[in-house]
Amino acid sequence: MIVQNIRIVKERIAEAAQKAGRQPENIKLVAVSKHFPADSIREAVDAGQNIFGENYIQEVQAKRGLVPAEAVFHFIGHLQSNKAKIAAETCGMLETLDSYKLGVTLNSQLENLKKNLDILIQVNIGNDPRKTGVAADEVEALLIKINELTRLRVCGLMTMPPLATDPEQSRPHFRNLRILSEKFAAKNLFPHVATPELSMGMSDDFHIAIEEGSTIVRIGTAIFGHRP
């Protein structure tokens, strides 16, 4: 079932890209495997999927040794500073950096490991009190400071819009994130990348996110089914 779902999701990504006049290969699929066992990840790897999203660092830690080395984990949950070391050791990208303090802790852990980490800044684009992330008007100041931390490679922005009943309600938020990222790119605030990443879009709204410029979609339910 996972294999077939990945194929369907990839077809839908290609369709949305085509509709927007974009190349499907410019959109990365993160299969959100939170709460699913390592077996599910192995099945997805066998189907050619290699990026996985996890919200809980203990889950990454538990699964890391049980899945093939080509599986890369993107951390998409709220990371506590005391878990920064594990994230630095086990994750290929942290999509949810939301404070300078966390950046400093992560940077020193990475320094010990002599390794760099790709990160995205999580933006609370809809000013939703129930969502974590940096307010849109505070991102620029944070970016400037984070760019001084030599082990962090800021690659772009990530967001989760407020809960919506109709996926069309997310469109203006996706658009606003893209406008924000274009503004920062013009100011050279993403010095490590030619094109900044925009991680936006989940199972219910990824087609709209792609039309609005998403380069990373994070899809759980449509691939693995409803979470246990």
Please give the residue ranges that form the binding site for ligand PLP (CB under 6 A): 32, 34, 55, 76, 160, 202-204, 218-222
Q: How far is the CB of 73 from ligand PLP (least distance, A)?
A: 13
> CB of 33 within 8 A of CB of 222?
no
- What is the nearest approach in angstroms of ligand PLP to the Cβ of residue 87? 15
Q: Are 2 and 224 in contact (CB under 8 A)?
A: yes
Q: Residue 41 or residue 76: which is nearer to ligand PLP going by CB?
A: 76
Which residue number, 6 or 219, has a Cβ lying nearer to ligand PLP? 219
SS3 track for 124-175: ECCCCCCCCCEEHHHHHHHHHHHCCCCCEEEEEEEECCCCCCCHHHHHHHHH
Give 105 or 170: the residue with its C-beta nearer to ligand PLP.
170
Q: How far is the CB of 54 from ligand PLP (least distance, A)?
A: 9
Name the minimum Å distance from CB 132 to ligand PLP. 10
Q: What does the block give as tokens for 120?
A: 């995205």
Position with the least CB separation from ligand PLP: 220
Question: Which CB sits closer to ligand PLP, 50 or 122?
Answer: 122
**Looking at this protein, which amino acid is placed at residue 193?**
V
Spatial distance between the Cα atoms of 125 and 136, rounded to a whole number of angstroms: 6
User: Cβ 12 to ligand PLP, closest distance in Å?
Assistant: 12
Nearer to ligand PLP, 16 or 151 (CB): 16
The whole-angstrom separation of Cα 193 and Cα 155 is 6
